[in-house]
Structure 1
Amino acid sequence: MKITLISLSLLLAISCKKEKSKTLQNKSSDNDTVTLKNDLKIQNDSVKTIADIKTEYARLNNLLISRKVDSTKFNYNCDEKEGEVILYFQDKKLAAVKDFYAEHSHFSSSTTYFVKNDQVFFIFNDETVWNFDDGGTPEKPETKDDIKEKRIYILNNKAVQCFEKNYSLRSKGNNTNPESIPNKEIKCDIDGFMKTYQLILKNRNKRDDIKCL
């Protein structure tokens, strides 16, 4: 019975997080909203500046939101970590990669890598730890999500600017709008993200579930 309850809780957490992840793409990088013309065309120039990153991010994000890209996916189950990887393509070229996983310890993570000319130029990551909040009833408990977002700007395979934002969302409501919370610049460390990205590329042609990346 205990195992069944744990599995059910994990399934609910994954389902809930996937629903939330659908809205994450609507968030801009560092609150940048760019109106673009011809946003369905792949530009031939490379990403050379922070301004280029913001423009290209907005273009690709538009495509993801409007579902104007092709995609493939595979799942993985590694110890207590269950994950899903989605690879997005525009004109058969890799445009973005999303890696989502959840753990039994009330933790989940979603990372989206934005790609141009086979190079990652922007990473958006959010990590969520949820707990039961004060109040509520056994039949209808209240929960709190503690969320950490990271935005990483990359040029020539090197992180050049990184931001972090922390906030909480309570199921009972009266939450602060996350968009109103400023980003804090932090020291860049992308080794872990890029290691995972390379493992994803090694498994990009998988169609069946795998154990670990």
Structure 2
Amino acid sequence: MKKLILLPSFILLFSCENKKKDTDSNLQSDSLQTFSAKDSLHTNNSPQSLEEIKTEYTLLNNQLIAKKLDSANFDYECNEVSGNVVYYSENGELKSIKHFHGDSHFSSVENYYLKNGKPFFIFQEETVWNFDGGTPEKPETKDDVKEKRFYYVNDQLISCRDKKYTIRTKNQSKPENVSDGESKNCNDSELRKTFEILIKNQNKKGKTDCIL
């Protein structure tokens, strides 16, 4: 990651915290939740089709929204990059991992949804933000956002989709109105590497050095 010029601390904190909050709300409105769901959370079978992945995601994400899962987290620092990892589990079984990291102009949130210890769905949101007019007292910003969705059956990638949109201070667009499409670059190698690192560090607590 290229070294960027640091901005005033209040802007950095405001931007990064909003990215984390916005991602939670974006996931709640994700198109996957429009599908009807049946109770499959308590079976041991991994999803075997795109439809079953959507069902499993909906059920698990509803648990996350309702805060019904146990959680543990830690923070880390990598030079100018700050990171946070949250592990969600039920009865000792890991169900989901949320990984946030960012610097002064960039942030990424990755959400891993697990069944039998393996991802069946990964949602990634990357945001690059810059000033976009306004005044020194009341600056306006522009967020360029990329969303990626990865679907797995038996730990094998079967499909991925992405979408891009821009959010401006002076023109609040609605991401849910932007349709996604089949990705032309279905490469999940970096995400899979990060997932393995997060698994190895799941017992960390508090604040630690760089893990990536």
In the superposition, the TM-score normalised over structure 1's length comes to 0.89
The aligned residue for residue 64 of structure 2 is 64
Say if 1:79 and 1:4 are closer, same or farther in 2 by CA, change over 3 A: closer
Partner residue of 1:119? 118
Query: How many correspondences in the alignment?
Result: 206
Partner of 1:181: 178
In 1, Cα distance between equivalents of 2:190 and 2:122: 12
Matched, 1:14 2:16: yes
Looking at structure 2, the residues matched to 6 and 203 of structure 1 have their Cα atoms a distance apart, in angstroms, of: 32
Paired residue type of 1:95: K
Equivalent residue, structure 1, for 2:143 = 145
Partner of 2:83: 83
What are structure 2's unaligned runs of at least 5 residues?
A: none
One-letter amino acid of the counterpart of residue 133, structure 1: D
- Distance in 1 (alpha carbons) for counterparts of 2:22 and 2:204: 26
1:5 Cα deviation after fit: 5.4
1:31 to partner: Cα distance = 4.5
- Contact map agreement 2:73 2:86 (CA 8 A) in 1: yes
Taking structure 2 as the reference length, the TM-score comes to 0.90
State the distance in 2 between where 1:137 and 1:171 align.
12
2:207 is paired with a residue whose SS is: coil
Distance 1:27 1:158 in 2: 26
Q: 1:129-188: per-residue Cα shift (whole Å, max 9, x none)?
A: 111113x2211011111100001101122211000100011111352x211211121131
Aligned to 2:34: 33
> Larger deviation: 4-13 or 61-70?
4-13
CA RMSD of aligned residues (A): 1.9
Paired letter, 1:87? Y
Q: How far is 1:36 from its partner?
A: 3.4
Counting aligned pairs with the same residue, the percent is 41
Tell me which residue corresponds to 1:50.
50
Q: Which amino acid aligns with 1:91?
A: N
2:106 alignment partner in structure 1 = 107
Counterpart amino acid of 2:179?
P
How many angstroms apart in 2 are the aligned matches of 1:26 and 1:181? 15
1:4, 1:78 → 2: CA distance? 15
